[in-house]
Structure 1
Amino acid sequence: MSAQTMEFKTEVKQLLDLMIHSLYSHKEIFLRELISNASDAIDKARYESLTNQALLEGGGDWKIELIADKEAGTLTIRDNGIGLTRDEAITALGTIAHSGTKEFMKALQSKEVKENPELIGQFGVGFYSSFMVADKVSVRSRKAGAANDQGIVWESSADGSYTIDTITKETRGTDVILYMKEEEKNLLDQWELRRIVRKYSDYIEHAICMEIDNYDDKGEKDGTKEDILNSRKAIWLKDKSEITAEEYKEFYKHVSHDFTDPAETIHYRAEGTNEFSALLYIPSRAPFDLFYKEYKIGPTLYVKRVQIMEHCEALMPVYLRFVKGVVDSSDLPLNVSREILQNNRMIEVIKKNITKRVLDALSHMKQNDFDKYLAFYKEFGKVLKEGIHYDATRKEAIAELLLFESSKTAAGEFTNLSDYVTNMPSDQNEIYYITGESRGEVASSPYLEAFRDKGYEVLFMYDEIDDYIITNLGEFKGKKFKSVIKGDIALDKDKEEQKKEAEKKYKLLIDLLKDRLKDDVGEVRLSGRLKDSACCLVAGETDMDPQMEKLLKSMGQEVPDTKRILELNSEHPVVAKMNALFEENKENPILGEYAEMLYDQALIMEGSKPKDPSRFAQRISRLMAGA
C-alpha cells in the first residue's frame, strides 16, 4: 500500500504552530512525555496479556529504549508495549479529541505556559512536544497480537499534514524517531539523556535502557554496553525516609500533569487483613476541567505493581475528585475488571481508608497551617462541600472543614462552623445564613437588620448550591440551620405581644395589599427581621432558594412557580402612613400605587428589577413632583 498523505485537523495545526514558536525553555520535558507514553503502552500490554497470552509474542522483556544516533541526528524512543493500528494512529496522532484543547491553546499564548511548559501534559498533548526539538517525527508501530508482522509508519514535519503507510515490523510496540533540529542536537549526548531521565522518569517501573560507551581500565573506549538509566523502584513502595521532597514533587507532576507543587502529600502503607500502599496528593490549584463532565476521577490502581486502571473511580468519592496519586494492592486479583471493582469488598475498604486519610490531612492542614488551607479551600471548597450531599456518614467531618465569611468578619476573612457555634449568644438557638452572589450584595441586605440589632452572626454563602448543601446538612452540633431569607423569623420573644397588637392594627391594610398583589405574592405579613427597611420578599420555609432558582433557570431547567411572601415593617413610617391613608379613605387610589411601589421596592432590595421598570419610574416621578 502506498503512503497516504492526510491533513491535520485545524486545531492540531494551530497547536503545533503555537508549540513550536511559543515555547523556548524547558524543552527537555518532551522526553518525559514520550517516556510516559511508552510506559503507558507497556502497562496496557501487560494488563491485556493477562487474559490474552498472544500479545506477548514478538516483544521480549518489558522495557523502553533510547537510541541516540549522532551521525543521523536522530533520537529514538522505543517500547515493546501495546502498539498502534492504522486507525488508532490517525486518531491519536492526527486529531485531538480533547475537551481541553482550546483552553490549552489559549494558555499556550499566555505568559503562564511560556514560563511553565510542563503544563502540556495536563491537556493530553504530550506527543506534540516532540516538535519543539525535532524537524520531523516518524512513528513506526505494530499492534501487539497483529498477524504477519504488519505495522504502520506515521510521519510529519509539522507542516500541516502527515503521511501514513503500511510496513513490516518484526516486534510489537512503537518506535518514535525524532529528527533533531540542529540547535537541539546536544540532547543526543549520553550524559544529557541520562540527566533528563533521572530528573523526570527515575520512578518509571519499566527499565529505560540506552547503549552507552564502555571504557577499559586505561580509560580507553571499548565498545558499548546497555545501561539502565532509572532506578525502576516504584516510588510508592519505597520507605518515606528514602524519598526526598523533590522526588515527591516530581512524581506528583508525573501523575497529575500539573506544573505546580502539591499542597499536601499523603504516603502510607496499610497493613493487616487488607494490605495496600497509597501515595496521594492534594493539589495546590484546581485543574481547568474540574467541573467538566468528562473529568477523570480516582487514583491509578496497581495490583502487584501492574497498572490495572489509570483512573479508578471506585477508589475515590466524587467530592475528593481533585486528589491525585496511586494505590497498589497485593490482595486484588491481577485480572480484576471494572465490573468486579464495583462490587469488591476490598475496594470499598481501601476507599474508606483513603477517604479518611485525605479528610484527616485537610483537618490537620486547617488546624496547623491555616494560610495553606485557605489557599486550598479557595480552589477546591466548592467541590469539597459536595461531600455533605454524597457522603452522609462523614457530613459532620466535612462540615468542620467548611469556611465562610460572615456578618462579623471583614471581607476576605473567614470563620467556621465550630467557632460560630462556640461564639453564639446564650439566647441564640439556630445557625443563621444568607445566600447571594457576592459579599457586597448580602452584607448590605435588609434581611440582616434584626440580626445585627440582636448581635447574631449570619454566615455569608455565595455558591449556588449552598442552600441545597446546608439543607442536606440540617444541623451542626445540635444547632439547626436557618436561612434569613426563608420562612418566618422571630428573634425577640419579648415583643410577641407587641407584634400581635400590630397585626390587629394593620389587619385591614394587610388584607388590601393581599388583594392588590394577589398575582405577585402568596401572602402579606408583618416581619420579624426588618428594623430600618419598609418591606422585603421572603421565600417559604420549604421553598427553593433564590440562588438555586436562578441557577436552574440559567441552565434552561423548569422551576416550580411559587409565589413569595411580602413582609412589612410595622415600625416603618411608610407602613404607618399607608395605614393612616387607608383609615381615612379605603378607596383612595394612591393606596394601589403604594402597594405596587412596595412590591417593586422589595424586588430591588433582593437584587431583582421592578416588575415593570417603566411604570416604576413613572410612579417615582409623580411622587417627586407631588413632594
Structure 2
Amino acid sequence: MPTETFEFQVEARQLLQLMIHSVYSNKDVFLRELVSNASDALDKLRLAALRDDALDADTADPHIEIALDADARTLTVRDNGIGMSYDEVGKLIGTIANSGTADFLRELKEAQDASGAEGLIGQFGVGFYSGFMVADEMTLLTRRAGEDTGTRWSSRGEGTYTLEKVDDAPQGTSVTLHLKPADPDNQLHDYTSDRTIKQIVKRYSDFITWPIRLVPQRGEGPAEGDGDGEGGSGPETLNSMKALWARPRDEVSDDEYHELYKHVSHDWRDPLETIRLQAEGTFEYQALLFLPAHAPHDLFTRDAARGLQLYVKRVLIMDDCEALLPPYLRFVKGVVDAQDLSLNVSREILQQDRHIRMIQRRLTKKVLSSLKEMKTKEPADFASFWREFGAVLKEGLLGDADNQDALLAVATFATTHSDDEPATLAQYVERAKDGQDAVYYMTGESREALESSPHLEAFRARGIEVLLLTDPVDELWVDAVGEFDGKRLRSVAKGEIDLDPQDGEQGDEQREKQAEEYAGLLGWMKERLGEDVKDVRLSSRLTVSPACVVSDAHDLTPALENMYRAMGQEVPRSKRILELNPGHPLVQSLNREYQERDDHTGLADSAELLHGLAVLAEGGQPKEPARFVKLVAERLERTL
C-alpha cells in the first residue's frame, strides 16, 4: 500500500506548534510520557492475553527499550506490547486527542503561566506529542498483536503526517525522535547521552513494573551496572520495578509517589493528597490512592474512563476498575493490589464479589476520613479541593446512606452569613436563631442571582442565615437528606414561610385583617391568572419587592423540572404560587383600585404585569415576553 499524506485539523496544527516552539522549562518529561505509553501498551497486552487464550501474541519477554544514536541524533522508545492497527494509528495518533483538543487549547489560553499550561498536556491525552519539544521529526512503527501487517506514521509537525502499511514491523510500538540540533550550552539535557537518560528514567519511571532497558550505542563496551546481570554489550535495566505501595513508607519519597500518580492519571501536576492503606487478615490487599489537585475536563462526562488500577499479586488485571470506589469518588486515582483474586476475573464478577465490595467500603471510608483530617489540619488545601470536586462529592448524599453523615461532616456551602467563608451544616446550626426549627436554603444558577432574589428579603431583614446552593445536584440531595441535627431542610422558595411565630395575638390580628382586606383582589387575580398560577396569596417573605412566585411545598422547582427533561424524563409542568407583599405601595394601590371599581377588566394588565415582574425577579421569563414588553411600554407611556 502506498504512503498516504494527511492534514492535521486546524486545532491540531495549533497544538503541534505549541509543542515545537515550547516554552516549558522542563522538557525531560517527554521521555516519561513515551515510557508511560509503552508501559500502558504492555499492560494491555497482558490483559488481552489473560482474556483470550487464542491471541497470537509474543508474551515471553515484555519490556521497554530505549535506544540512542549520538551520530544520527535519534532516540527510540520501543515496546513489545499490544501495538496498534492502521485504523487505530489514524484515529488515536493522527487526530491528536480527538474531542479534547479544543478544550485543551481553550484552557491553555486561560492558563496564567507556563507551568499552568504544562499541566494541561497530560490531562488532555496529548502526551505523545510532547516529543516535539525536543525533536524535529517523529516516526512511529507499530503492529498490533495478532495481526500480520504493521503501520508506519511520520510527521515533522508542520501540519501533515504520513501513514503507510508495512510488512516487516515487529509486535508492539517504537517511537523514534529525530532530535533537534545539540545545544552546546546545555549538556545536561543531551538526550543522546546515556547518563541523561538514566537520570530521567530513575526520576520519573523507576516504579514502572516492566523492565526499561537502555540499549548500548554502537561501538560501546559492556554496560555498567547491568540490572539483568547480562554480560557483554547487553542492555542495561534502568528501573527497580519495585511497587511503591509494597515498600515501607519511610523508604518512598513524596516525589516518587507523585510520579506514580502522574503515570496512572496522565496529569502532569502533583496530587493534592496521597493516601496509603494496608489490610491484613483473612483477605489482604494494599492500596495507594491520590486526590488530584484539579478536576479533569471529563469529570462529568458520562462515558469518561474512571476507576482504580487493580493488581493481583503485582500483576495488573484491570486498568480502570470502577467497582473499587463509588461513582461520586470517580476522581480518585491510584492502585489496589489484592492477594486472593483470580487473574482472569471479569468486570461482571467483580461487581458481585464480596471481597471487592469489602474493599470499596474500606476505601470509601478511608478517603472520607482523609478529607475530614485535611479539613481540620489543612483548611486551605481542603477549600481548594472542595472548589474542584465538591459538586461531584455531593452526589454521594443521594445514594450512599452509609456514608451520608461522613459526607455532611465535610461538605461546605456558601451562605448569606459570609461572602467568602463557606460553612458546614454543623456551623449553620450552631449559628441558628433561638427557636429556629429549619435549615433554610435556596437553589439557583449563581450566588449573584440568589442574593438578588426577593425570596431572601424577610430572612435578610431578620438576620436568618440561608445556604446558597448553585450546583445542579443541590436540587436533589436536599430532599434525600431531609434534615440535619433535628432541623429539616427547607427551601425559602417553596411552601409558606412564617418567620414570626412568636409575635403573639397582635400579629395574628394584623394577618387576619390583611387577609380580609385583600380577599377580593386575591380571588380575582387567581381567576384572572388561572392558566399560569396555582394560587395567589399574601406573602410573609417579602419586605421590599411587590411580589414573588414560589413552588408549592411538595412540587418540583422549575430547575428540577428542566433537569429531568434534560435527562429525557417527561414531567408535568407545575403551576407556581404568586405571593403579594401587602406592605408594598404597588400592591396597596392595586387593591384600592380593585375595591373602588365595579368593572375590574381595566386592572387585568396590571395583574399580568405584576406576575411578569415576579417571574423576572427570580430569573425566569414571562410566558409571552413580547406581550410583556408591550404592556410595560404602554404603562410607561401613560405615566410620562
Deviations 1:138-165 (A, max 9, x none): 3333433456xx5444444445131323
Q: How many residues align?
A: 616
- Preserved CA contact (<8 Å) 2:223 2:234: no
Q: How big is the shift at 1:235?
A: 1.2
Quick check: 1:382 aligned with 2:397?
Answer: no
- Preserved CA contact (<8 Å) 1:47 1:306: no
- Preserved CA contact (<8 Å) 2:38 2:81: yes
Residue from 591, 614, 624 that aligns with 1:602: 614
Alignment of 1:425-464 (within 5 A): 425-464=433-472
How far apart in 2 are the matches of 1:199 and 1:122? Answer: 20
| Other-structure match for 2:408 | 399
How far apart in 2 are the matches of 1:536 and 1:554? Answer: 26
Quick check: 1:524 aligned with 2:536?
Answer: yes
Distance 1:215 1:162, change over 3 A: closer
How far apart in 1 are the matches of 2:85 and 2:496? Answer: 67
| Other-structure match for 1:483 | 491
Deviations 1:506-535 (A, max 9, x none): 222221222222232111112222233332
| Other-structure match for 1:618 | 633
Residue from 349, 356, 363 that aligns with 1:354: 363
| Other-structure match for 2:212 | 208
Alignment of 1:82-481 (within 5 A): 82-96=82-96, 98-107=98-107, 114-115=114-115, 116-117=117-118, 119-146=120-147, 151-159=150-158, 160-169=160-169, 172-183=171-182, 186-211=190-215, 224-409=233-418, 411-481=419-489
How far apart in 2 are the matches of 1:517 and 1:57? Answer: 74
- Preserved CA contact (<8 Å) 2:328 2:392: yes
How far apart in 2 are the matches of 1:438 and 1:52? Answer: 52
How far apart in 2 are the matches of 1:501 and 1:267? Answer: 67
Q: How big is the shift at 1:3?
A: 4.0
How far apart in 2 are the matches of 1:343 and 1:59? Answer: 30
How far apart in 1 are the matches of 2:126 and 2:461? Answer: 58
Per mean C-alpha deviation after superposition, the further-off stretch among 394-403 and 84-93 is: 84-93
Distance 1:533 1:192, change over 3 A: same
How far apart in 2 are the matches of 1:584 and 1:616? Answer: 23
Distance 1:151 1:445, change over 3 A: closer
Distance 1:16 1:530, change over 3 A: closer
Q: How big is the shift at 1:601?
A: 3.0
Q: How big is the shift at 1:544?
A: 2.0
- Preserved CA contact (<8 Å) 2:79 2:173: yes
Q: How big is the shift at 1:334?
A: 0.6
- Preserved CA contact (<8 Å) 1:18 1:105: no
Q: How big is the shift at 1:356?
A: 0.9
Structure 1 gap ranges (5+) = none
- Preserved CA contact (<8 Å) 2:97 2:124: no
Q: How big is the shift at 1:573?
A: 4.0
What's the secondary structure of 1:414's corresponding residue?
strand
Q: How big is the shift at 1:391?
A: 1.8
Deviations 1:169-205 (A, max 9, x none): 5x53333222222237920100000011012111101
How far apart in 2 are the matches of 1:152 and 1:576? Answer: 81
- Preserved CA contact (<8 Å) 1:214 1:223: yes
User: Which one-letter code corresponds to 2:367 in the other structure?
Assistant: V
Structure 2 gap ranges (5+) = 184-188, 225-230
How far apart in 2 are the matches of 1:505 and 1:143? Answer: 84
What's the secondary structure of 2:572's corresponding residue?
coil
Residue from 490, 504, 512 that aligns with 1:500: 512
- Preserved CA contact (<8 Å) 1:23 1:117: no
How far apart in 1 are the matches of 2:616 and 2:248? Answer: 62
How far apart in 2 are the matches of 1:231 and 1:351? Answer: 30
User: Which one-letter code corresponds to 1:543 in the other structure?
Assistant: D
- Preserved CA contact (<8 Å) 2:119 2:269: no
Quick check: 1:513 aligned with 2:517?
Answer: no
Q: How big is the shift at 1:281?
A: 1.0
Deviations 1:329-366 (A, max 9, x none): 11211111122112211111111111111111111111
Q: How big is the shift at 1:101?
A: 1.8
Distance 1:48 1:444, change over 3 A: closer
How far apart in 1 are the matches of 2:464 and 2:70? Answer: 76
Distance 1:404 1:142, change over 3 A: closer
What's the secondary structure of 1:311's corresponding residue?
strand
How far apart in 1 are the matches of 2:62 and 2:566? Answer: 53
Q: How big is the shift at 1:110?
A: 6.3
The percent identity for this pair of structures is 44
How far apart in 2 are the matches of 1:110 and 1:489? Answer: 44
